A and B are shown apart, each in its own frame.
Chain A
Amino acid sequence: MKLLLKTISFLGLGLNIVPAILVFGAYMSPDTCKLLMLIGTVLWFGTAPSWMNKDKAAQVEEE
């Protein structure tokens, strides 16, 4: 489950940078880029808090 959440999170993060690179290379329109970045943002904030904060707590306990 955690692996799935992490995968979705990093997919969301990727959707925030890859489309902009494609716009720079003239492979994508700015409007598509904006939509994909919004989807990426929702994916990131929808999944990252559930594993990032748990990872942090586990790390503190280990130390």
Chain B
Amino acid sequence: MQNKKSLVARLNAVNEYEQEAIPGNKLKGWRSFLGTYAGEHTAGTEFVIGPLFVAHGASAIDLVTGLILGNILAVLSWAFLTAKIAVKTRVTLYFLLEKIAGKQFTLIYNLVNAGLFCFLAGAMIAVAATAVGIPFDMTMPQLTDVYPNNVGWVTTVFVVGAVTTVIAMFGFDQVSKFAMVAAPWMIMVFIAAALAVLPRLGVTEVGSFWSVAESTIWTGVPLEGQSKFGFWHILFFAWFCNMAMHIGMADLSLLRYAKKWQYGFSSATGVFLGHFVAWIASGILYSLFLIESEGSLTFAPGPIAYSAVGVAGAACVVIAGWTTANPTLYRAGLAIQSINPKWKTWKVTLLVGLFTTIAACFPALVMMLLEFVALYGLILMPVGAVIFIDVYLLEKMGLKPNYAAQMGISLNWSVALTWTVTLIFCLLLNLVVGIEIFFLGLPGWFVAVLIYIVSSKFIQRK
């Protein structure tokens, strides 16, 4: 009983400054961000995204050049957009949005946001479950699976989900510590796994890697039923796969702890280790699996990593899944908690964890990850554009920033209009013009900026 009380007391004591600016003595050093970004972006998703590039027929040269340029653009977005605003305001996205858009809009946005975070965390839990299930000879999911189809899978997902949720309930500090420790090891395992299987692909010396890469690993030919990915697909995917975090401003929650805006550049550790080295490594592993299994439809990162480097590989899949699922669950908890600040963060995270675990039971979440990641960024992007304009431009234009807070209104129609019209515009671009989802973020951002400026002028002057 005493233990139970002290646990609840500890959980209640978790204070993440959701509804106030971060006090000066709570700011974190650059090493904290290096570790967090490296851990967060060397994740379970990397075991899925790298292989999906192979499945979509990316060529070796398109992959390497597209990833380098796309990742540079992502880092610049984190530093010049997110980090600058985070350091200037020191508050979470949700708190800032409430001042700009009002409580009603924030409520809807938070629900959408939390739902998307849950699905992303769910995909991580599912990826980790493919490794946890190895000793139990669990039936692994197939590329074509949509619904959960065996008890072993559901049980394993629930065990992984429960552990992930408990860790997330203890807040950012615990997550950060875990990511810091795991990050260097995960990178080593990713690289080691790829190196160890290269001889099985016919690479016996460094000089022969590129020719094997072009002819055997990234052949430029998509698998049957998969669309073809070229240079621009890779570039835009690398740039926008974390669009919700940088351009969409979700990482204000993380970077508000930074002493200087330049700490935004620490995201480079995440993207160049996770979204370059790890995607290439996991692509190599999947390519070998396709060759040795003669085109099997099984899509399970756990067994693939286990086959390459044994228990360490399987452990890497589990831990990589956790280090992304944990902060994502934490963010989802923050999103829901901001609806009612009186709710305890840990109780909200517990509920969010349960929903996430149920979602993780559906293998489609993993198989459609590229499309989901692009959609997730796109849906949250217009709010990032609104915040950018509100912080930097509105006052200079003689308009009121933080309009909802200044006017005491619960819904700023400029923001609601911006969000809705931008997403309708992107949907039309996709359905009518046929532009793929990976490319919609860029025109969408400019449309969001334009609509917010025009609608703010109209509504505020009225």
Tell me the A residues contacting B by CB distance below 8 Å: 12-13, 16-17, 19-21, 23-24, 26, 30, 33-35, 37-38, 40-41, 44-45, 48-49, 52-53, 56, 59-60, 63
Chain A: CB-nearest residue to B315: A41
Q: Are A60 and B196 in contact (CB under 8 A)?
A: no
Scoring B residues 180 to 219 as 1 if CB is less than 8 Å from chain A, else 0, what string do you get?
1100110011011101101100011000000000000000
Q: Are A56 and B309 in contact (CB under 8 A)?
A: no
Question: Within B331-376, which residues are at the interface with A (CB < 8 Å)?
Answer: none
List 11 additional contacts besides A17-B191, A48-B181; criterion CB under 8 Å.
A13-B185, A16-B188, A16-B192, A24-B203, A34-B309, A37-B192, A49-B177, A60-B28, A60-B32, A63-B27, A63-B259
Distance between Cα atoms of A48 and B310 in the complex (Å): 22
Minimum CB–CB distance for B261 against chain A, Å: 16
Q: Are A34 and B312 in contact (CB under 8 A)?
A: yes
- Residue of A13, A24, A38, A60 ringed by the most chain B CB atoms within 10 A: A24
Q: Are B198 and A24 in contact (CB under 8 A)?
A: yes
Scoring B residues 309 to 342 as 1 if CB is less than 8 Å from chain A, else 0, what string do you get?
1111101000000000000000000000000000
User: Which residues in A have their C-beta under 8 angstroms from that of B181?
Assistant: 45, 48-49, 52-53
Q: Are A30 and B188 in contact (CB under 8 A)?
A: no
Q: Are B199 and A23 in contact (CB under 8 A)?
A: yes
Pairs A-B, 9 closest by C-beta atoms: A34-B310, A20-B192, A37-B312, A16-B188, A20-B195, A20-B196, A23-B196, A17-B188, A41-B312
Chain B: CB-nearest residue to A10: B184
User: Which residues in B have their C-beta under 8 angstroms from that of A17?
Assistant: 188, 191-192, 195
Chain A: CB-nearest residue to B32: A56
Tell me the B residues contacting A by CB distance below 8 Å: 27-29, 31-32, 35, 177, 180-181, 184-185, 188-189, 191-193, 195-196, 198-199, 203-204, 259, 309-313, 315
Distance between Cα atoms of A24 and B284 in the complex (Å): 14
Given contacts A17-B188, A20-B196, A53-B177, contact A33 B32 (CB under 8 A): no
Distance between Cα atoms of A41 and B315 in the complex (Å): 9
Minimum CB–CB distance for B277 against chain A, Å: 12
User: Which residues in B have their C-beta under 8 angstroms from that of A45?
Assistant: 181, 185
Distance between Cα atoms of A15 and B259 in the complex (Å): 36
User: Which residues in B have their C-beta under 8 angstroms from that of A53?
Assistant: 177, 180-181
Chain A: CB-nearest residue to B180: A52
Minimum CB–CB distance for A48 against chain B, Å: 5
Q: Is the interface of B mostly helix, strand, loop or mixed?
A: helix
Q: Are B193 and A20 in contact (CB under 8 A)?
A: yes
Q: Are A26 and B199 in contact (CB under 8 A)?
A: yes
User: Which residues in A have their C-beta under 8 angstroms from that of B309?
Assistant: 20, 33-34, 37
Distance between Cα atoms of A34 and B185 in the complex (Å): 15
Q: Are B180 and A16 in contact (CB under 8 A)?
A: no
Given contacts A16-B185, A17-B188, A59-B29, contact A41 B180 (CB under 8 A): no
Distance between Cα atoms of A21 and B193 in the complex (Å): 10
Minimum CB–CB distance for B448 against chain A, Å: 37
Q: Are B32 and A20 in contact (CB under 8 A)?
A: no
List 15 A-B residue pairs with CB atoms under 8 Å apart, sorted by A's residue number: A12-B185, A17-B191, A19-B196, A21-B195, A26-B199, A30-B196, A33-B192, A33-B196, A37-B192, A38-B310, A41-B185, A45-B181, A52-B177, A56-B35, A63-B259
Q: Are A56 and B31 in contact (CB under 8 A)?
A: yes
Q: Are A37 and B310 in contact (CB under 8 A)?
A: yes
Minimum CB–CB distance for B36 against chain A, Å: 11
User: Which residues in B have their C-beta under 8 angstroms from that of A33?
Assistant: 192, 196, 309-310
Given contacts A45-B181, A56-B177, A63-B259, contact A37 B29 (CB under 8 A): no
Q: Are B204 and A26 in contact (CB under 8 A)?
A: yes
Chain A: CB-nearest residue to B184: A13
Minimum CB–CB distance for A44 against chain B, Å: 5
Q: Quick one: which of A38, A49, A56, A60 contacts B312, CB cutoff 8 A?
A: A38
Distance between Cα atoms of A40 and B313 in the complex (Å): 12
Q: Are A24 and B191 in contact (CB under 8 A)?
A: no
Q: Are B191 and A20 in contact (CB under 8 A)?
A: yes
User: Which residues in B have their C-beta under 8 angstroms from that of A26?
Assistant: 199, 204
User: Which residues in B have their C-beta under 8 angstroms from that of A40?
Assistant: 312
Q: Are A44 and B29 in contact (CB under 8 A)?
A: no
